[in-house]
Structure 1
Amino acid sequence: MTSLAITAGPFRFLGVLNELQCPRTCAAVRAALPFDGSVIHVRWSGEAVWAPLGDLDFGVPYEDPTSYPAPGQFLLFPGGEGRISETEILLAYGPCRFASKAGQLAGNPFASIVSGLDKLAELGPMTLQKGAQSLKMELIEDA
């Protein structure tokens, strides 16, 4: 199991890659780490924040995609040519149905927060009220 150190805004979380569920997506995400960006509040999806990644191509297909991530679950929308929305990472903090202005989307559930879930309830409203928050994800090397 691969662990992640995640910082979102002022909050720190421990996460794990869902390598059995989404092996190709997790391999592509691992290759892109460390990630240093920002999240903004979603517009159509409910209680979630997202990191828009434009036309960044992870080169992965859909893997066990879902439109209904659980709180603390990260989705990767692969984007790419012919897709209806840009590449993005979504992090649910409450009830969520992943969507865009074009309608419902589905993303690959590549990681889950396993420690610090109680802070997600603060991150979401903070992002909505105060604007973009930093998002950093990096591998925690096995001991």
Structure 2
Amino acid sequence: MNDLRITAGPFTFGARFESELAPKTCAAFRKHLPFESQVIHVRWSGEGVWIPLGDLAFGVDYENHTSYPAPGQIILYPGGISETEILLGYGGVRFASKMGQLAGNHFITLTSGLENLAALGKMVLWHGAQKIVFESV
């Protein structure tokens, strides 16, 4: 079941909230829908794109957190050591900042369009920031 449509650059992905594993993070993010920003390529973490959110507070702590999101998993870092951010892995990721390894809450998983995930990552790497929109379906 898809809860979300995520459009990033020219690509569209279906996605589901991980409501059972990260209920507080999912509820906090739902309040911000539709959510629009830009993704840029990660600096420290490997094959991923991220949305820097500065000091935007979602009011959540760690739940269902990981430092190694699989391709198609989206994590929310609630802030603390580094700024608040959302990260989408498209390949091998070890989530980190210049301060070292971090962990973020896995709260969304892509369910369709995965064949375009690596192409999105490479587009962001070689051509720069791309618009991203999260919408309820």
Aligned mates of 1:137, 1:30 — CA distance in 2: 10
Quick one: which amino acid aligns to residue 115 of structure 1? S
- Residues 98-121 of structure 1, C-alpha deviations (whole Å, 9 max, x = no match): 000000000000100000011001
- TM-score (ref. length: structure 1): 0.94
Q: How far off is 1:43 after superposition?
A: 0.6
Query: How far has the Cα of 1:2 moved from its partner?
Result: 5.8
- 1:1-43 Cα offsets, whole Å, 9 max, x none, are 6610000110000000000000000000101111010000001
Q: How far apart, CA to CA, are the structure 1 residues paired with 2:2 and 2:73? A: 15
| Cα distance between partner residues in 2 of 1:63 and 1:10 | 31
User: Structure 2 CA distance, aligned partners of 1:133 and 1:9?
Assistant: 5
* Segments of 4+ moved more than 6 angstroms: none
1:1-143 to structure 2, matched below 5 A, reads: 3-79=3-79, 83-140=80-137
Figure out how many residues of one structure are paired with residues of the other and give that number.
137
Q: Distance in 1 between matches of 2:2 and 2:23?
A: 12
Alignment identity in percent? 62
Distance 2:25 2:2 in 1: 13
In structure 1, how many angstroms separate the alpha carbons of the residues matched to 2:121 and 2:81?
Answer: 25
* Cα separation, 1, equivalents of 2:106 and 2:29: 11
Q: For the residues of structure 2 that align with 1:138 and 1:108, how far apart are their CA atoms?
A: 19
For 2:95 and 2:16, the matched residues in 1 are separated by 21
In the TM superposition, residue 64 of structure 1 has moved relative to its aligned partner by 1.6
CA distances 1:30-87 after superposition (whole Å, capped 9, x unpaired): 01111010000001100000000000000001002100001000000001xxx11000
Specify the code of the residue in structure 1 equivalent to 2:131.
Answer: S
CA contact (8 A) 2:64 2:107 kept: no
Structure 2: unaligned runs, 5 residues or longer: none
- Give the conservation status (yes or no) of the 8 Å contact 2:2–2:14: no
TM-score calculated relative to the size of structure 2? 0.98
Give the alignment's Cα RMSD to 1 decimal: 0.8
